Amino acid sequence: MSSVKLFAGKGTADLANRIADIYGKPLGKSTSQKFSDGELNFSYNESIRGTDLFIIQSTTPPSDNIMELLLMIDAAKRASAKYITVVIPYFGYARQDRKDRPRVAIAAKMMANLLTAAGANRLMTMDLHAGQIQGFFDIPVDHLDGSAIFVPYIRNLNLDNLIFASPDVGGTARARTFAKFFEADMVVCDKHRKRANEIASMQVIGDVEGKDVVLVDDMADTAGTICKAANLLKDKGASSVRAVCTHPILSGKAYENIEASDLDEMITTDTIALKQKSDKITVLTVADLFAKAIRKVHDHESISALFI
């Protein structure tokens, strides 16, 4: 069996180090730099010929990290790596997964094409915005589930009147998975948007009086939806409101929104490094899950044991 080597792009260096520590193998040496005009340059500083290569890089902020990832894949292919697996804890552009109005790009499909054309043999990621994005790839996709991280944490909270909520109609399947596991009820926050990142109105479908509510979503960008839902749920009589969000994009006024909201806690992961700390945000690491998945993929074992 060929040897394993792990490398990291600049976008996920801290998480990659944690994954490498748990896996028991140091990150490989590489150089990534920019020319004065912003053009990226990447090179491996050690031989990767004949190796099973795992490249760890989340794609946010999107442009530079995506370009660096593509250069890493191309350099690995040209350096005769045997098998190239791209480990993308947060897969950017996943929100653009369909043509929802005339004359728009399907960016998630374009990303799949770019990664495949660059030479990736396999993708490993977590909590895609839409699960069907796996079908955009003509290479194997290991789609890890954040519930393996969140379920033990929620269980340890020992909430008396637990109920799950989806912050929008599109996320009901995600919230229903948690509700079924805990044998709890579920409510839905139905929202109407004026435009991207701006909500016109929202209403709660279901009863949350006296309940400990856990909102479930795959990502928090400006956190506007989550915060508006939390405030509305508290207004409807919820005892406490927490949010589970795998990917903390947290752009714009997200931190201000969270601090000013009725959220008791936002539980997220380190697929994206936080820009600042907040007493309301709890970060759980996905390093152990990815390290186990990398080992199983290299050993040609099933990863189904990693799912709740």
Instruction: Kindly report whether the peptide bond that precedes residue 61 is cis, defined as omega within 30 degrees of 0.
Output: yes
Work out the pLDDT band at 198, boundaries 50, 70, 90: low
Flag whether pLDDT at 196 surpasses 80. no
pLDDT tens per residue, range 252-305? 999 999 999 999 999 999 999 999 999 999 999 999 999 999 999 999 999 999
Residue 81, pLDDT score: 98
Work out the pLDDT band at 100, boundaries 50, 70, 90: confident
Chain mean pLDDT for the chain? 94
Class of domain 147-284: alpha beta
Residue 194, pLDDT score: 59
Q: What is the DSSP letter of 242?
A: E
Q: What is the pTM assigned to this prediction?
A: 0.93
Which stretch of DSSP H or E encloses residue 243? Answer: strand 240-248
Do the beta carbons of residue 20 and residue 6 sit within 8 Å? yes
Residue 137, pLDDT score: 97
Of the candidate CATH numbers 3.10.20.30, 1.10.357.10, 3.50.50.60, 3.40.50.2020, the domain formed by 4-145+287-306 belongs to 3.40.50.2020
DSSP 3-state of 81: coil
Residue 17, pLDDT score: 97
Residues catalogued as catalytic: 191
Residue 200, pLDDT score: 57
Opening angle at CA 10, ends 86 and 52, nearest 5? 30
Residue range(s) occupied by CATH 3.40.50.2020 in the chain: 4-145+287-306, 147-284
How do strand 30-34 and strand 40-44 relate by DSSP bridges? antiparallel
Which stretch of DSSP H or E encloses residue 43? Answer: strand 40-44
Residue 249, pLDDT score: 95
